[in-house]
């Protein structure tokens, strides 16, 4: 066992972090926290053409949003820095030149035209693509003497000399020993013609230099492992323990994509997912406590997160499940915390943040139970503030009329149904009845309206459905009578009159 557990998250700042990235970050973080180790963030910005400053900001922001605090990294510094690979170029060239001197790597001056022809010829022969070792045995010296190369481009690359025969046997803690035929692994580039290292070299050099004990990363990097393994051997570095996390698939078992709702981490944040729910959900993408338990608090996760319980079979990403988790976490908040989360959510989202705090305090407990995402709340409670407006047909949608619901959903126009006078009558009888109530209490409202229902021979679903629309303007709302109570007598009666007027 290494003296200290040190894990790292090594994203490339080329795009906004997605679910797979952040799952790797979380697992590395949890493993470090479980072992009182260090969690390090390293920005792998060696692809200059694809570098994106926004992506880099988003990487750190997403970690901070989820609360994955860093012991070392670009934001917090640390004794193993700098934590941008672009600031560590000397280290990589030093290692590469050492390998050239040792006869384990070599300069290659092949032009891209030449490499293109090689590739074409390989395709024609139905051979796997790969470098044809043209420069492998030319001796360009330790500093690379390109003048010896016919028709060369001045800026060569440095390639690693893979063994030509045999197998590379590498070890992953989840999969055990894995062997690769060396014939199928070509002499890959370690240093590009712009002087920047490729991922393979930089990753090995840095994991060594930063004393990383465990490399937790996505399954898609397993194919790079034999190359890394060879570099470790050639440089005589001690290897970290490799942990390749199971692939994440969509519910249809195909590779995870936007189609499955697997958006960037921020799209979830913007919809009102809580960081706590997100973490719980992500932790179960490839790890489990006991095959049963789903709701696991963060302290419990840290306490129980071991590599032994990381699986090897694909993890399934299911947005409905994520929503379920979020709903559970929202329900478990105290009323006060729920209000606080809502208010800060509204501040970051475009929703007008003009809700009176007494209204919010009264209505929040009514919606908290049924909320799955914070972005659903505004539409359900905004009827309390300002005026409402809706097309008359919505009254029928509220009553459960399928045709009306379909027309509203598709944005098509349909005529107001023939029973409009009848519905109008229900509403005016209800209005009269409610006007006569002595106290504006939910129970009294409900009781008196039940009498209206039996006198008129209608159904609760119909009358209450129409009233829900009249009061809130929508077909989905917090419970009707408590909503009317919070809205107040005067406004409620006025809104029923507004509905009646729509049917005149
Ligand atoms: N830079 C790689 C990435 O974008 C890191 C892979 C690794 O963890 O080794 O995910
Ligand atoms: Zn070459």
- Statement to judge: residues 366 and 403 lie in one domain: no
- Spatial contact of 104 and 237, defined as CB atoms under 8 Å apart: no
The answer as to whether 125 is a domain residue is yes
- Statement to judge: residues 363 and 405 lie in one domain: no
What confidence category does residue 152 fall into, taking pLDDT thresholds of 50, 70 and 90? low
The answer as to whether 150 is a domain residue is yes
Strand partners for 249: 255, 316
Instruction: Work out the mean pLDDT of the chain and round it to a whole number.
Output: 93
Ligand lying closest to the C-alpha of residue 10: 1
Give the other-Cβ count within 10 Å of 274's Cβ.
21
Choose the residue to mutate in 51, 203, 215, 216 for probing ligand 1, maximizing ligand atoms within 8 Å of C-beta. 203
**pLDDT for residue 144:** 74
Instruction: Return d(Cα 393, Cα 475) in angstroms, integer.
Output: 11
- Statement to judge: residues 232 and 342 lie in one domain: no
- Statement to judge: residues 114 and 229 lie in one domain: yes
The answer as to whether 212 is a domain residue is yes
- Statement to judge: residues 430 and 460 lie in one domain: yes
**pLDDT for residue 414:** 93
Dihedral of alpha carbons 103, 104, 110, 114, sign? positive
Number of domains in the chain: 3
Residue-wise pLDDT for 79-136, tens only, equals 999 999 999 999 999 999 999 999 999 999 998 889 999 999 999 999 889 999 999 9
Point out the domain boundary residue: 355, 378, 401: 378
Instruction: Return d(Cα 502, Cα 484) in angstroms, integer.
Output: 20
Give the length of the chain.
Answer: 504
pTM beyond 0.85: yes
- Statement to judge: residues 447 and 366 lie in one domain: no
Instruction: Return d(Cα 504, Cα 499) in angstroms, integer.
Output: 9
Instruction: Return d(Cα 332, Cα 391) in angstroms, integer.
Output: 37
**pLDDT for residue 136:** 93
The pair of structure tokens assigned to 493 is 């009666």
Quote helix, strand, coil % in the chain, to nearest 5.
Answer: 50, 10, 40
Burial of 358 (0-12, 13-18, 19+ CB in 10 A): exposed
Q: What is the mean pLDDT of residues 487-497?
A: 97
Point out the domain boundary residue: 245, 265, 290: 245
> Does the pLDDT at position 2 exceed 60?
no
The answer as to whether 285 is a domain residue is no
Q: How far is CA 335 from the centre of its chain?
A: 27
- Statement to judge: residues 398 and 485 lie in one domain: yes
Q: What is the mean pLDDT of residues 220-244?
A: 97
- Statement to judge: residues 399 and 370 lie in one domain: no
Distance of CA 321 to CAs 62, 150, 305, 306, 497, Å?
21, 61, 21, 23, 42
Instruction: Return d(Cα 41, Cα 45) in angstroms, integer.
Output: 12
Q: What is the mean pLDDT of residues 373-390?
A: 92
Cis status, amide bond into 164, omega within 30 of 0? no
The answer as to whether 223 is a domain residue is yes
Give the other-Cβ count within 10 Å of 136's Cβ.
15
> Does the pLDDT at position 153 exceed 80?
no
Q: Which domain holds residue 185?
A: 88-245
- Spatial contact of 309 and 292, defined as CB atoms under 8 Å apart: no
Q: What is the mean pLDDT of residues 149-173?
A: 88
* Residue for token pair 């390090």: 40
- The helix/strand/coil state of 73 is strand
| Beta pairing, strands 157-160 & 189-191 | antiparallel
Strand partners for 181: 167
Q: Which residues line ligand 1 (CB under 6 A)?
A: 10-12, 44, 199, 203, 217, 221
Choose the residue to mutate in 24, 39, 44 for probing ligand 1, maximizing ligand atoms within 8 Å of C-beta. 44
- Statement to judge: residues 93 and 241 lie in one domain: yes
Residue-wise pLDDT for 397-410, tens only, equals 999 999 999 999 99
Residue-wise pLDDT for 365-379, tens only, equals 999 999 999 999 988
- Statement to judge: residues 339 and 470 lie in one domain: no
Q: What is the mean pLDDT of residues 134-152?
A: 75
**pLDDT for residue 146:** 67
Atom of ligand 1 nearest to the CA of 9: 8
The answer as to whether 163 is a domain residue is yes
The answer as to whether 110 is a domain residue is yes
Distance of CA 485 to CAs 75, 157, 377, Å?
50, 75, 19
Helix axes 199-209, 225-235, angle to 10 degrees: 50
> Does the pLDDT at position 155 exceed 70?
yes
Measure 141 CA to ligand 2 centroid, in angstroms. 14
- Statement to judge: residues 235 and 372 lie in one domain: no
Distance of CA 51 to CAs 40, 83, 406, Å?
20, 15, 47
Point out the domain boundary residue: 182, 215, 245: 245
Q: Which of 90, 85, 235 is nearest to 160 (CA)?
A: 235
Residue 126 is among the residues annotated as catalytic for this protein: no
Instruction: Return d(Cα 282, Cα 294) in angstroms, integer.
Output: 11
Out of 29-38, 139-148, 169-178, 401-410, which region has the weakest mean confidence (pLDDT)? 139-148
Measure 147 CA to ligand 2 centroid, in angstroms. 13
- Spatial contact of 217 and 283, defined as CB atoms under 8 Å apart: no
Instruction: Return d(Cα 308, Cα 174) in angstroms, integer.
Output: 8
> Does the pLDDT at position 350 exceed 70?
no
DSSP string, 134-146: TTTTS--TTTT-G
Residues 6+ apart with CB under 8 A from 378: 346, 351
**pLDDT for residue 497:** 97
* Residue for token pair 């900001």: 57
Residue-wise pLDDT for 235-271, tens only, equals 999 999 999 999 999 988 888 877 776 678 889 999 9
Domain of 476, CATH number, reads 1.10.10.350
Instruction: Return d(Cα 190, Cα 95) in angstroms, integer.
Output: 10
Measure 206 CA to ligand 1 centroid, in angstroms. 12
Residue-wise pLDDT for 268-286, tens only, equals 999 999 999 999 999 999 9
**pLDDT for residue 395:** 97
Q: Which of 261, 258, 263, 268 is nearest to 348 (CA)?
A: 268
Instruction: Return d(Cα 443, Cα 461) in angstroms, integer.
Output: 17
What confidence category does residue 192 fall into, taking pLDDT thresholds of 50, 70 and 90? very high
- Spatial contact of 37 and 5, defined as CB atoms under 8 Å apart: yes
- Statement to judge: residues 342 and 457 lie in one domain: no
Domain of 340, CATH number, reads 1.10.8
* Residue for token pair 């988790």: 325
* Residue for token pair 């009666």: 493
| Angle at the Cα of 108 from the Cα atoms of 103 and 110, rounded to 5 degrees | 155
- The helix/strand/coil state of 450 is helix
Measure 129 CA to ligand 2 centroid, in angstroms. 15
The answer as to whether 235 is a domain residue is yes
**pLDDT for residue 151:** 60
Residues 6+ apart with CB under 8 A from 293: none
Ligand lying closest to the C-alpha of residue 12: 1
DSSP string, 338-361: HHHHHHHHHHHSSS-----HHHHH
């Amino acid at each position: 066992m290494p003296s200290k557990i040190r894990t790292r998250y090594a994203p490339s700042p080329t795009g906004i972090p997605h679910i797979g990235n952040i799952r790797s970050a979380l697992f590395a973080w949890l493993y470090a926290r479980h072992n009182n180790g260090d969690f390090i963030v390293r920005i792998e910005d060696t692809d200059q053409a694809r570098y994106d400053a926004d992506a880099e900001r988003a990487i750190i922001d997403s970690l901070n949003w989820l609360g994955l605090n860093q012991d070392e990294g670009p934001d917090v510094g640390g004794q193993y820095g700098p934590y941008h690979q672009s600031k560590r170029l000397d280290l990589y060239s030093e290692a590469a030149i050492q390998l050239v001197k040792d006869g384990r790597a070599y300069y290659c001056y092949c032009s891209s035209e030449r490499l293109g022809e090689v590739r074409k010829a390989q395709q024609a022969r139905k051979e796997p693509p790969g470098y044809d070792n043209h420069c492998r045995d030319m001796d360009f010296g330790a500093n690379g003497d390109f003048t010896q190369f016919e028709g060369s481009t001045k800026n060569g690359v440095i390639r690693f000399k893979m063994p030509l025969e045999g197998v590379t046997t590498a070890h992953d803690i989840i999969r055990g020993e894995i062997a690769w035929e060396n014939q199928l692994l070509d002499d890959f580039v370690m240093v590009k013609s712009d002087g920047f290292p490729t991922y393979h070299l930089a990753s090995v050099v840095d994991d060594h230099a930063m004393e990383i004990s465990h490399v937790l990363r996505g399954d898609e990097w397993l194919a790079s492992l034999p190359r890394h393994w060879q570099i470790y051997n050639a440089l005589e570095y001690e290897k970290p323990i490799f942990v390749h996390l199971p692939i994440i698939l969509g519910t249809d078992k195909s590779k995870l994509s936007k189609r499955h709702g697997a958006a960037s981490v921020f799209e979830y944040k913007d919809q009102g997912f809580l960081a706590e729910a997100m973490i719980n959900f992500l932790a179960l993408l490839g790890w489990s406590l006991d095959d049963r338990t789903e709701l696991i608090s963060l302290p419990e996760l840290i306490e129980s997160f071991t590599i032994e319980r990381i699986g090897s079979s694909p993890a399934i990403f299911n947005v409905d499940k994520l929503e379920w988790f979020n709903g559970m976490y929202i329900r478990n908040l105290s009323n006060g915390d729920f209000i606080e989360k809502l208010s800060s959510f509204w501040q970051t989202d475009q929703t007008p943040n003009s809700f009176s705090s007494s209204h919010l305090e009264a209505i929040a407990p009514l919606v908290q139970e049924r909320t799955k995402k914070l972005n659903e709340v505004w539409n359900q409670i905004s009827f309390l503030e300002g005026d409402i407006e809706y097309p008359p047909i919505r009254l029928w949608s509220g009553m459960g009329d399928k045709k009306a619901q379909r027309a509203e959903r598709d944005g098509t126009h349909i005529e107001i149904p023939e029973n409009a006078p009848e519905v109008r009558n229900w509403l005016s009888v209800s209005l009269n009845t409610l006007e006569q109530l002595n106290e504006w209490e939910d129970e009294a409202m409900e009781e008196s309206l039940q009498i209206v229902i039996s006198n008129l021979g209608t159904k609760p679903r119909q009358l209450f459905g129409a009233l829900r629309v009249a009061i809130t303007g929508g077909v989905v709302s917090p419970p009707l009578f408590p909503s009317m109570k919070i809205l107040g007598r005067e406004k409620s009666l006025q809104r029923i009159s507004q509905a009646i007027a729509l049917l005149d």
